[in-house]
Structure 1
Amino acid sequence: MVALGGCGGGQSANTAKPQTPAEKSESPGAAVEKPPAAGEPIKIGAFFSASGGAAPLGKPELDTVRMLVDELNQKGGIGGRPVELIAYDDKSDQNEAVLAVKKLIESDKVAAIVGGTISGNSLAVIPQVEKAGVPYLSVAASRQVVRPDDGSPRKWTFKTAQGDDIVIDKVLEFLKEQNLTKIAWLNVANAYGSSGRAEFERLAPNYGIEAVAKEEFEATVNDAKAMLTRVKKANPQAIVVWGTVQESAVVTKNIRELGFDVPVIESHGIGNPQFIQLAGEAAENVVFPIGRIVVADQLPDSDPQKATLLEYKKAYEAKYGTAPSTFGGHAWDAFQILIAAIEKVGTDPGAIRDAIEGTKNFVGITGVFNFSPDDHTGLTKDSLVIARVKNGAFEFVHP
């Protein structure tokens, strides 16, 4: 399981048949968190890219939700009813995601669903959840997850990762501040990358910024030097790399190997310490927009999210022995917003949907959420900060 911010499209994997109830507790494709015996369980479905190309995103998402379910049940569940988490690994594959959600809806009969690590997988399951009328909180980034190109918002679908429209706006703002107006745009060739590129092309003229080179790279890229040689001839003032952890690390290493002496700005899809591990010294001084969790310790005490961020960080590190990522934060938000809705209105799907849509001033990991009928993301670009990699760690630059 995984999510690039929530983010891009997944890589193909062999399609598996839906599992029987006897299989799902034993197979790596599904995990059921058995609640303590106390009242009828409330079933919550989840699917993340815990394996495959998007695993650096989806694994912390799955781990976060499992942790939260344990904590909730230890406190007595919801109104004395335990929560039963039924979670599937979609293996970073759209077909697997569709099969998982079909089973969650038709066989497992869950009250609601969280997940969809990458944009392609989230988009692929939306027709099912919308038709079935099941509340769905995605953790992927594409604006189209909640608002397709025709402009009409989805009814049953929400998301907790900043939309690429918001993130691109933040990147363009930073580029303008730095007087970097001639840039090279490079994006991964999947739903996450193409959605980011579309938003860049739509918003860049507002900031007087021009792409002197535009290129795409595969999510499975292992050498981007040929592409980057073309980019170098365009003589950009900066390079924007729009991808997630694994592919962005490869491209970043190749940029350094070819001797580019320009700033490198990347997407929120690299917001996991694994990016630094994979890119090594090439990650140094990479700048990117990101939610506050990766720099929580560096925030001023006046920041309204700081206490919540540090509490999540402490719990996650205690349970898993590693720092949480921005992607796990998206899952934290989705689960907690859903639980707050169920605590308020019970398990009727329509009532849950309405309660989620009415969420106001919810202080989460990704930001402070304010949903509405016209906004099923509920975040602004103020939910992002600019960070950079410095001495092998993430460093806060400015809000």
Structure 2
Amino acid sequence: MKNSMIRLGALAGVAFTLAAFPAFADITIGVTIPTTGPGAALGIPLKNSVDLWPTEIAGEKVKVIVLDDAGDPSLATTNARRFANDDKADVIVGTALVPGAIAVAGVAAEVGVPHLAPSPLPPPVAKGWSFVLPQNAELVSRHLFAKMKADGVKTLGYIGFSDSYGNQWVDQFKKLGAEYGLKMVAEERFARPDTSVAGQVLKVVAARPDAVFIGASGTGAALPQLGLRERGFTGPIYQTIGAVTFDFLRIAGKSANNTVFASGPVMVAEDQPDSSETKAEGLAYVTAYEGKYGAGTRTQFGSHMQDAMIILKKAVPVALAKAKPGTKEFRDALRDAIENGGPFPVTHGVFQFSPSDHYGLDDRGIVLLTAKDGKFNLIK
């Protein structure tokens, strides 16, 4: 009887000891993206790509929580706070539109959670806990401005979004344009929900620029494209990386022919040489995505989610060697593993982050495309 009581007491002590230690959660990833609203054309491919993510990383189960932010920065903030405070997320991914991504970055910095941004954060925000998955504006701009110079362009008209996405291209022009012999003779803006840009187009055409630079994304980039051709502008048009979607080609139709686009290499993964460091991951993503959603459905926005997972699959094992998911120590270790664990060959280039560079991509992350008859073609 006495021995039985001793054994029961020992078991109770073990149970108490085990209860005193927290039960560590799975690796939790919070994803905020616009699956409704003006950013849905960007957000839906992101969500579709999340559906391709593995259920485990390094033997640990992955819990993914996806919330719609409808393209609203305040809702993106609310989602990020929920991930951090309620779900104890180990990493936050989001969101598709720059204003919302800036808001998420603020939360990530405040609470100390690694943040992978699938939209181009401006330099003052791309630091600390936030890492940028798209190509940065300077890298994109240099490739486009160099092409403009090679094409003999001297004067440029600009039409872009009236938000931080549109602002960054004007900022880059002011910083770099003179270096490439370019002068901006007209600058017009429009809001993402606008259904007409006729007034802006008329003002740009009246300035008689050699070429027009459009700083917009998704299907919204087709509005000025169509308007310029309808108003008889026959000069070259240059589009940013945000316009490179098959939906853009469908909406813009023949007006897109011969336009020059900056793009991530995933959009022409099959056309890359075998020596390209991005070809294998690009083809793997395209095969998986279009195998599920149909031919011609790939977007470079969706592939940012693939790149996020490629980075996490390499960084998580490093962090697991130091701490368990669900803890501050794990989040700290994961941030450090992302910042110092490269190179990460992905669909969009080769990331090499550092304490002073949270963009991480170089010239391997940009290709120039043109459009003809509803297809993107690599400019050799």
Q: Write out per-residue CA displacement over residues 345-390 of structure 1, whole angstroms, 9 at most, x where no aligned residue.
A: 2230110000000132211011111010000110123310110111
SS of the aligned residue for 2:60 comes to coil
Using the alignment, how far apart are the partners of 1:80 and 1:169 within structure 2? 42
Q: Write out per-residue CA displacement over residues 50-95 of structure 1, whole angstroms, 9 at most, x where no aligned residue.
A: 2211112111111112211xxx22xxx2343210101111111111
Distance 1:142 1:135, change over 3 A: closer
Higher normalized helix content (fraction of residues): 2
Q: Does 1:262 align with 2:235?
A: yes
**Correspondence for 1:155:** 128
Asked if the contact 2:277/2:349 (under 8 Å) is kept, the reply is: no
Q: Unaligned stretches of 5+ in structure 2?
A: 1-23
**Aligned residue pair count:** 348
**Correspondence for 2:205:** 232
Residue 42 of structure 1 aligns with an amino acid whose one-letter code is: I
**Correspondence for 1:352:** 334
TM-score normalised over the length of structure 2: 0.88
Q: Which moved more, 1:229-238 or 1:350-359?
A: 229-238
**Correspondence for 2:277:** 304
Residue 359 of structure 2 aligns with an amino acid whose one-letter code is: T
Q: Write out per-residue CA displacement over residues 223-247 of structure 1, whole angstroms, 9 at most, x where no aligned residue.
A: 2122211112211111101101222
Q: Unaligned stretches of 5+ in structure 1?
A: 1-38
Q: Does 1:342 align with 2:327?
A: no
Within a 5 Å distance, the mapping from 1:374-393 to structure 2 comes to 374-393=356-375
Using the alignment, how far apart are the partners of 2:145 and 2:363 within structure 1? 11
**Correspondence for 1:174:** 147
Identity within the alignment, %: 30
Within a 5 Å distance, the mapping from 1:74-113 to structure 2 comes to 77-113=56-92
Q: Does 1:52 align with 2:37?
A: yes
Using the alignment, how far apart are the partners of 1:80 and 1:235 within structure 2? 61
Asked if the contact 2:198/2:227 (under 8 Å) is kept, the reply is: yes
Which ranges of 4 or more aligned residues in structure 1 deviate by more than 3 Å? none
Residue 304 of structure 2 aligns with an amino acid whose one-letter code is: H
CA positional deviation for 1:40: 5.0
Asked if the contact 1:115/1:331 (under 8 Å) is kept, the reply is: no
SS of the aligned residue for 2:81 comes to helix
Using the alignment, how far apart are the partners of 1:94 and 1:239 within structure 2? 30
Asked if the contact 2:127/2:357 (under 8 Å) is kept, the reply is: no
SS of the aligned residue for 2:57 comes to coil
Asked if the contact 2:350/2:364 (under 8 Å) is kept, the reply is: no
**Correspondence for 1:139:** 118
SS of the aligned residue for 2:70 comes to coil
1:124 is matched with which residue: 99, 103, 127? Answer: 103
Using the alignment, how far apart are the partners of 1:313 and 1:365 within structure 2? 9
Q: Write out per-residue CA displacement over residues 20-77 of structure 1, whole angstroms, 9 at most, x where no aligned residue.
A: xxxxxxxxxxxxxxxxxxx952211111112211112111111112211xxx22xxx2
Residue 300 of structure 1 aligns with an amino acid whose one-letter code is: P
Within a 5 Å distance, the mapping from 1:323-342 to structure 2 comes to 323-342=297-316
Asked if the contact 1:45/1:86 (under 8 Å) is kept, the reply is: yes
**Correspondence for 1:36:** none
**Correspondence for 2:378:** 396
**Correspondence for 1:27:** none
Flag the structure with larger Rg.
2
Asked if the contact 2:155/2:211 (under 8 Å) is kept, the reply is: yes
Asked if the contact 2:72/2:100 (under 8 Å) is kept, the reply is: yes
SS of the aligned residue for 2:159 comes to strand
TM-score normalised over the length of structure 1: 0.84
Asked if the contact 2:80/2:104 (under 8 Å) is kept, the reply is: yes
Using the alignment, how far apart are the partners of 2:121 and 2:155 within structure 1? 25
